[in-house]
Amino acid sequence: MVKVPDRNPQGQTMARINDNYLKLKAGYLFPEIARRVNAFAAEHPDAPIIRLGIGDVTEPLPEACRTAMINAVNDMGDRGSFKGYGPEQGYAWLREAIAQHDFQARGCDIDASEIFISDGSKCDCGNILDIFGNDNTIAVTDPVYPVYVDTNVMAGHTGDANDRGEYGGLVYLPISAENDFTAQIPSEKVDLIYLCFPNNPTGSVATREHLQAWVDYARSHGSIIFFDAAYEAFITDPAIPHSIFEIEGARDCAIEFRSFSKNAGFTGTRCALTVVPKTLKGQTADGTGVDLWSLWNRRQSTKFNGVSYIVQRGAEAVYSPEGQAQTKALVSFYLENAQIIREKLTEAGLAVYGGINAPYVWVQTPNGLSSWDFFDKLLHTCNVVGTPGSGFGAAGEGYFRISAFNSRANVEEATRRIVETFKA
């Protein structure tokens, strides 16, 4: 049967939508969690719900950042220091501070001009697809941060999803306890590779040797690595690289995304960065090499107006002596939360992973419970909210993510309830 197009009240066919959005699963993971929690709260208005699901921070912005922002607001009140449109790439003084402290201090050959300031690494992980073609083969780990997959679906880079939620056209690299949450490098050629370390959601990290193997693969196959280092500040093991650019050859095959959200509490303030080396190249349809820095610079100059002067001054303060001490204290606070979660859930008899060099604890669901069944059990029995592993991909089924981003009192109370429920 031929489908007759829907028409508006005037009898005219309507503007076409992007049909790729219809391929997306019913709801993005975190809105679905919110829907279930809201429904439970409506039925149980007195339930003392503790949310350890979404990775949002709870502690105040560092004092150094707040002071810098206040001073920047005052700058905006004086004609002599007022700032209008800023550079789309970010102010030079912030990019230079980032280059020096985050990259050059770790031996990375990254120049300030290769750093682009943005309003979120989540945004950039999706926006980066603007400069790549539709016929690339794309590899993601499974489980994976959903944004990587969903933005490729929206851009038309995939087919439909199967019964396991896997999209045609993507190469999935399963990670689990059986392979120590380390993705096997594919035997076939892939063009774009998403890597996230410390990993969201599993909390695992990558050794220097593992990252070198990925860089070697990418260089030999002409691939590009999208390296999400949003949680690098939580690395405590000095042997673990913080940046892909600590790896020899990465300038020729990698783009890195970073954020001020988790180390300095900027989730509500919005500031991040993307590093695109000027030596990095892709190719046109006829095989001509093109540098990606110029394409990304053009994209940002056209579609992005830059992060506010006030916020960038706050981010700059992260690199002051006071800011370094205060952000280190914030990171230590959340890592102590993660340690409490690991210890208490282990005491409850649960198998736990991560939470050492990352703010996430990855829990194996007990007694064969599905990820969503475990979510419902925690919500209804303990009034604790986490994140079902299956929401991060098919290989996440049977696991569950618990976030260390919360107050100490809430973490201690939530884990007490879990121990009380499962240890019994």
CA 118, 124, 128, 134: dihedral to nearest 10 degrees? -150
Burial 262-299 (b: 16+ CB within 10 A, else e): bbbbbbebbbbbbbbbeebbbeeeeeeeeebbebbbeb
d(CA 53, CA 43): 20
Q: Is the peptide bond before 174 cis (omega within 30 degrees of 0)?
A: no
Flag whether 261 is marked binding: yes
d(CA 385, CA 389): 13
Flag whether 231 is marked binding: yes
d(CA 331, CA 351): 24
Q: Which helix (H) or strand (E) holds 38?
A: helix 29-43
Flag whether 122 is marked binding: yes
A 10 A CB-CB count for 88 gives: 18
Flag whether 85 is marked binding: yes
CA 27, 270, 262, 121: dihedral to nearest 10 degrees? 60
d(CA 346, CA 344): 5
Degrees to nearest 5, angle at CA 120 with 115 and 123: 100
Flag whether 145 is marked binding: yes
Query: Positive or negative CA dihedral for 107, 108, 111, 115?
Result: negative
Flag whether 55 is marked binding: yes
Flag whether 121 is marked binding: yes
**3-class SS of residue 348:** coil
Flag whether 259 is marked binding: yes
Q: Which helix (H) or strand (E) holds 352?
A: strand 351-354
Nearest Cα to 182, choosing from 204, 208, 212, 203? 204
Flag whether 406 is marked binding: no
In degrees rounded to 5, what are phi and psi of residue 264?
Answer: -120, 5
8 A C-beta contact, residue 253 and residue 224: yes
Which residue ranges make up the annotated binding site for pyridoxal 5'-phosphate?
85, 121-122, 145, 200, 231, 259-261, 270, 305
Which residue ranges make up the annotated binding site for substrate?
28, 55, 122, 145, 200, 305, 401
Which residue ranges make up the annotated binding site?
28, 55, 85, 121-122, 145, 200, 231, 259-261, 270, 305, 401
